[in-house]
A and B are shown apart, each in its own frame.
Chain A
């Protein structure tokens, strides 16, 4: 779908956390997963910057493994704080999607 980037800005971190939570994964592999999910419009730089942020905020555990390019490749898994952040993300998402659904179906009225 086109022009998703603005809407994705607030939730991309949650999406990436969910991808990482499924098992050890490296940077570009995450981008490929996102593309496979249909998020084609996400710029490569966005994911790179996001991974730096996740690392800075200590949401991921990193394992370095040798690579054929020289520097070691980083593999990401979620740490405890990462899982907490992911749970918070889904809680917010559930709240938001429920309200949006309510708005769409009943114009925001709960008991209609």
Chain B
């Protein structure tokens, strides 16, 4: 029914897609690893080629997909589509919707993040920000105030320097707050 080339294409598609449909529980360790790492798949495969990496279940799922896809394509061809058109349509219909996996992975990461989150760290970060901003504001404003000539000069233009000092102090304080945040995050990573 199908050309040799088309049979190979169907096999290749099934080989790529069928594993995604298998639930995690059915996959071998290598299959799970492969699915998780996507981009490094080829490297991993080369590295671990000596280990059995495809379970019998995965190969069965692949065969099931070959037959299922072929049946679907035959159906489409009976409706008037060419072999190539039928293949393209079947490919589109049977392609694993990876959004499910992506969202599951994202959910896993969010759960892990909140699971490992230490409230004390976040409290410390907030206090650092607050402290540095207050200190920066106070020191900046004070330096600006004194530097501009004190109270006598404040009302006749010195207030601008005080204001500039306060703004610069605020920015320095925020910067130091960010720095303390980064230090805490890096410490947590170790």
Contacts and interface: CB of A to CB of B under 8 A. Distances in A.
Contacts of B90: 44
A33 B115 CA distance: 46
Interface in A63-104: 67-74
B7 A28 contact: no
A28 B66 contact: no
Contact of B63 (A32, A44, A72): A72
Contacts of A53: 23
Contact of B93 (A45, A67, A68): A45
B151 interface: no
Interface string B52-84: 000000000101111110111001000000000
Contact of A45 (B26, B66, B71, B94): B94
A54 to B, nearest CB: 12
A67 B67 contact: yes
Interface residues of A, number: 23
B120 interface: no
Contacts of A49: 21
B64 A48 contact: yes
A43 interface: yes
Nearest to B70: A69
B122 to A, nearest CB: 39
B1 interface: yes
Interface of B: 1-2, 7, 21-23, 25-26, 61, 63-68, 70-72, 75, 90, 93-97
The 7 closest A-B pairs by CB, nearest first: A28-B71, A71-B63, A44-B93, A27-B68, A69-B70, A45-B94, A49-B21
